[in-house]
C-alpha cells in the first residue's frame, strides 16, 4: 500500500484540536499517512505578515491532499484585515489548486424526516471570482460593482460532477438551485448547461428550484433533496442552512475537490475557528473527522472512509452528550 502525502493545516482557534481528532481516527482506521504540518492562518500572519507564501503553495501542490482545520482571528479582532485570510489563503487555495467542486454532505433528522443530501457548490467562479471594483471610492458618488463570473467550462464541469454523483446515489435525483427568473444571464447559462449535460444522464431525475424557495424547502422538508447543484454564493448560504437544519454546523464536513486530479484536493469542516471555546474540550470534532473520511475516499481508501463516515453518523445520531473533543474522537476511533 502506498502512503498518501497529506498536508495538515491545523490553523487557528479550535482548528488544531479538531484536526488532531481526525488524524487519530484515520490512524485507528488503519490508514497510514505521510503528514507534513503547515503553519498558516491568523497566528502565522500576525507573527510574520505572511498569508500564503508562493514557496508554501508550491509544496502543497505536490501533495496528495490537504486537511485543514479552521483559519481566522477571534471574532471582533481587528488585527487581521477583513477578507485577508479568506481571499489570500482559503480562496487562493481554491483558485490555485483548481478546487472547482465544494462537496458538502448532510445527514440527520430534520423537519419531516430523515435528511440525506449533498450540495455540490461551484467553488471557483460566481461572485467569488473577484470581478468588479470601485469608481470614485470615498466620494458621495462612489460606485462598487461585484460581478458574477460564470464560464461555460466552469458551470459545465460542476454540473457534470453533480450528475455523476446523483447517478451513484440510490435516489438518482438532482435539483438545480438558482435564481433564473432574475439572474437571467447567469441563470440561462446554468439552465442550458444543466439540460444539455442532463441529456447524458437519462437515469437521473431532475428538478429546479429558485434559491429563495429552496430555503423554505430546506427548513420545512429537507428530506425532499438528494443532490443539489448550485453556484458559489448560493451554495455558501444554502450549506450553512442545511447544516443548521441537519444537526448543527458542528457536523458539517466539506471537500474542496479537484476532480480532474491535476493537484491535491482540500478537506475541511465547514465551521470556523471558534476562539471562544479553544481549550475547553467543547469543540465538536465530528465535522473534521467526516472531512478526513471524505479525504480518504478521494485517496482511494473507500473502505476506511465508509467505516469512519458510518461511525461519525452513529455518534451524531446517538448524541455526544457531555463528551469532550478528545472523548468524541475516542468514541469514533473505537467504532472504526
Alpha-carbon span 300 to 41, nearest angstrom: 29
Of 291 and 320, which has the nearer Cβ to Mn ion?
291
Annotation marks residue 212 as catalytic: yes
Closest CB to Mn ion: residue number: 236
Annotation marks residue 179 as catalytic: yes
The catalytic position among 12, 231, 236, 297 is: 236
Burial class of 143 by CB neighbour count within 10 A (0 to 12, 13 to 18, 19+): exposed
HSE (CB half, 13 Å, CA atoms) of 182? 6
Which residue's entry shows cell 471570482? 129
| Binding site partner of 34, from ligand IPM, Mn ion, none, Cβ cut-off 5-8 A by kind | none
Regarding 236 and contact with Mn ion (CB under 5 A), the answer is yes
Closest CB to ligand IPM: residue number: 86
The mark string for 13-52 relative to Mn ion (x by CB under 5 A, - otherwise) is ----------------------------------------
Annotation marks residue 50 as catalytic: no
Pick the closest to residue 97 from 293, 273, 267 (CA basis): 267
Annotation marks residue 128 as catalytic: yes
Alpha-carbon span 195 to 201, nearest angstrom: 10
* Cβ atoms 115, 245 nearer than 8 A: yes
φ, ψ of residue 282 in degrees (nearest 5): -95, -5
Name the site residues for ligand IPM (rule: CB under 6 A). Answer: 86, 90-91, 236, 270
User: Cell triple for residue 85?
Assistant: 485570510
Regarding 231 and contact with Mn ion (CB under 5 A), the answer is no
- Minimum separation from the CB atom of position 254 to ligand IPM (A): 7
Of 223 and 272, which has the nearer Cβ to ligand IPM?
272
The catalytic site residues sit at 128, 179, 212, 236, 240
Which residues are at the interface with Mn ion (CB under 5 A)?
A: 236
Amino acid at each position: 500500500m502506498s502512503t498518501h502525502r497529506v498536508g495538515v493545516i491545523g490553523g487557528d482557534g479550535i482548528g488544531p484540536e479538531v484536526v488532531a481528532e481526525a488524524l487519530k481516527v484515520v490512524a485507528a482506521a488503519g490508514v497510514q499517512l505521510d503528514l507534513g504540518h503547515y503553519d498558516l492562518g491568523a497566528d502565522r500572519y500576525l507573527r510574520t505578515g505572511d498569508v500564503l507564501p508562493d514557496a508554501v503553495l508550491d509544496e502543497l501542490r505536490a501533495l496528495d491532499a490537504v486537511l485543514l482545520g479552521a483559519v481566522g482571528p477571534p471574532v471582533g479582532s481587528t488585527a487581521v484585515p477583513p477578507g485577508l485570510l479568506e481571499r489570500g489563503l482559503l480562496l487562493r487555495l481554491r483558485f490555485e489548486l483548481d478546487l472547482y467542486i465544494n462537496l458538502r454532505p448532510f445527514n440527520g433528522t430534520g423537519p419531516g424526516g430523515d435528511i440525506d443530501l449533498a450540495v455540490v457548490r461551484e467553488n471557483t467562479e460566481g461572485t467569488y471570482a473577484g470581478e468588479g471594483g470601485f469608481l470614485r471610492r470615498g466620494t458621495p458618488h462612489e460606485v462598487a460593482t461585484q460581478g458574477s463570473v460564470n464560464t461555460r467550462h466552469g458551470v459545465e464541469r460542476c454540473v457534470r460532477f453533480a450528475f455523476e454523483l446523483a447517478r451513484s446515489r440510490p435516489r438518482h435525483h438532482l435539483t438545480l438551485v438558482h435564481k433564473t427568473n432574475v439572474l437571467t444571464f447567469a441563470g440561462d447559462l446554468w439552465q442550458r448547461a444543466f439540460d444539455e449535460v442532463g441529456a447524458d444522464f437519462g437515469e437521473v431525475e431532475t428538478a429546479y428550484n429558485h434559491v429563495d424557495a429552496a430555503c423554505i424547502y430546506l427548513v420545512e422538508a429537507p428530506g425532499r433533496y438528494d443532490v443539489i447543484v448550485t453556484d458559489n454564493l448560493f451554495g455558501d448560504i444554502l450549506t450553512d442552512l442545511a447544516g443548521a437544519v441537519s444537526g448543527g454546523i458542528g457536523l458539517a464536513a466539506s471537500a474542496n475537490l479537484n476532480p480532474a486530479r491535476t493537484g491535491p484536493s482540500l478537506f475541511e469542516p465547514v465551521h470556523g475557528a471558534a476562539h471562544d471555546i479553544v481549550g475547553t474540550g467543547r469543540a465538536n470534532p465530528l465535522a473534521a473527522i467526516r472531512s478526513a473520511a471524505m479525504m480518504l475516499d478521494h485517496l482511494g481508501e473507500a473502505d476506511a472512509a465508509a467505516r469512519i463516515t458510518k461511525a461519525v453518523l452513529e455518534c451524531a445520531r446517538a448524541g455526544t452528550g457531555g463528551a469532550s473533543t478528545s472523548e468524541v474522537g475516542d468514541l469514533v476511533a473505537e467504532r472504526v
